[in-house]
Structure 1
Amino acid sequence: MRGHVTFREATADDLPVMEALLIAAELSLEGVQAHLADFVLAVQGDEVLGVAGLERYGPHGLLRSVAVRADHQGRGLGQALTWEMIERATAAGLETLTLLTTTAAGFFPKQGFHPVTRDALPAALQASSQLQGGCPASAVILHLALPQRSPA
């Protein structure tokens, strides 16, 4: 280990490494470029170890593309990325965070997410390519109400 992991916003230059991480995790690339400004990378030195993204639809967010490089899995990095995205969504004033998963339905409830049905989702989220078929219909939908910060 060459130091600790930090988080930074993704840029267009990061797309190739982000796409490689998402492909390795069997996650959809659809919509990544359109929402690039809300993607975060976990980095150590100049190495990208993980990625997570957010799609914003009014006061609702869709957490997506949480992926960690295979040789760094099992070290809490996925959890750290998830908490980072929850923090960023809360700081941005979002009211809810939703995600779809086919492989990590047991992981996200530990972060406070709970299962919901598609018809329980805010209508604004239906605009996401992930809900329009980017993610399989068999995906589990998990939802988190975010704490609301009082205006300063």
Structure 2
Amino acid sequence: MFVIRRAAERDLFQMRRLLNETGLNDHGMEDHLRHFFVVERPGGEEEPPEIVGAIGMEVYHPFGLLRSFVLKRASWNPAIGVKLIHILLSYAAQLKLTHVYLLAGTTTSFFEQMGFSVIPFADIPEDIQESEHMERCASKGTPMVYACFPNDPH
């Protein structure tokens, strides 16, 4: 059983460890923590709760930059991955973001199934291109975009 909830400061250590174990960038994550969600395996009498997944984004209104989508391999469940993406995209809609951008590694087909489209890097808004996360990771993935409101001309 897993619980998906908003991330809190107390989660930073476990989130960083999880991202570092999977080779993902954790730099600057704490500055955007209010836009992160975690997947937690509740603890028992003898073991503490464990963060086994995380997803978050940086917000550059009216755009979002998805980052840090990760689930521990031992806990990987496609349904949880899909649920995490849906939660983040619903949250983006609540924030009235028009588009959510990301850099996909080898998982472009997964994101395409979730409604993201491959785009040229030049089509990414300047605020997102200049984010520290994007500058660190620009050469490591395929740029993709999700339109939160499909009829939006942006």
Aligned residues: 144
Q: Which runs of 5+ in 1 are unaligned?
A: none
Alignment of 1:61-72 (within 5 A): 61-72=64-75
* Cα distance, 1:10 vs structure 2: 1.2
Percent same amino acid among aligned pairs? 27
Q: Does 1:126 align with 2:133?
A: no
Alignment of 1:90 onto 2:87: no
1:14 counterpart = 2:16: no
Q: TM-score, normalised by structure 2?
A: 0.86
CA distance 1:68–1:101, shift in 2 (3 Å): same
Shift of 1:76: 2.1
2:139 maps to which residue?
137
RMSD over aligned Cα atoms: 1.6
Three-state SS of the structure 2 residue aligned to 1:27 is coil
Structure 2: gaps spanning 5 or more residues? 43-48
Q: Deviations over 1:47-99 (max 9, x none)?
A: 32210011000200001100001111134222211111001001111110000
Q: Does 1:48 align with 2:48?
A: no
TM-score by length of 1: 0.87
- 1:39 pairs with 2:36: yes
Q: How far apart are residue 136 of structure 1 and its match?
A: 4.2
Tell me if the contact between 1:59 and 1:93 (Cα under 8 Å) persists in the aligned partners: yes
Once the two structures are overlaid, the 10-residue window that deviates more, 93-102 or 6-15, is 6-15
Question: Which structure features the higher share of helix residues?
Answer: 2
CA distance in 1, matches of 2:15, 2:41: 15
Contact 2:24 2:68 in 1 (8 A): yes
1:106 Cα offset (Å): 2.0
